[in-house]
Amino acid sequence: MAKERIALYPGSFDPTTLGHLDIIRRGAKLVDRLVVGLAMNTGKSPMFTLEERTEMVAYEVEKISKEVGTIIEVHSFRGLLMHYAEQIGAQVIFRGLRAVTDFDYEFQMVGMNARLNSEIEVAFLMASEKHQFIASRLVKEIGLMGGNVRPFLTPRIAERLATRCREKGGIQR
């Protein structure tokens, strides 16, 4: 029997956007099992707790998993990405690539990670042009300043973001 193809799609997912979900859908078609890995320590101060971020993405991927017919699991990890990839037996790491501005950061990460384990490949996927520009950081900024975040998020996540923005005393319109 052929070896199970396992991919890891890591990130902060604070919160999960339509861009992330598009990458998950595309990535899931390429492998047998896709693990969405939420990093516990990214050096950023997240708007949502790890539990909230995990629950939000897990809810959304359930539909994608059924649609595509691939097992999609959502887990969190502490420590190095490459150590976690080794632990779950992933042969490939998926990252979404948006514009050239992403390139420098991703280029550096690939280089450093390859020194840690050169057997695990990194594959870059591009979201559809309608979702390419979406960044969680900007979506949070729009939400906090009273803008409409619905074009960038699922209805459920948009609702959660709007609530969190209100709790944080963001501008309301």
CA distance 79 to 73: 19
CB of 170 to ligand PNS, least distance (A): 22
Among 6, 9, 12, 53, binds ligand PNS (CB under 6 A): 12
Determine, following the binding rule CB under 6 A, whether residue 142 of this chain makes contact with ligand PNS.
Answer: no
∠ CA 7-31-94, nearest 5°, is: 35
Per DSSP, the three-state class of 89 is coil
Residues touching ligand PNS, count (CB under 6 A): 10
Q: Which stretch binds ligand PNS (CB under 6 A): 45-53, 107-115, 143-151, 159-167?
A: 107-115
Nearest to 126 by CA among 94, 101, 154, 151: 94
**Is the CB of residue 142 less than 8 Å from the CB of residue 153?**
no
Nearer to ligand PNS, 124 or 173 (CB): 124
Among 34, 35, 81, 120, binds ligand PNS (CB under 6 A): 81
Q: Which stretch binds ligand PNS (CB under 6 A): 4-12, 27-35, 57-65, 162-170?
A: 4-12
From the candidates 5, 26, 98, 164, which is the catalytic residue?
98
Instruction: For residue 62, give every residue at least 6 positions away whose Cβ sits within 8 Å of its Cβ, in sequence order, or none.
Output: 72
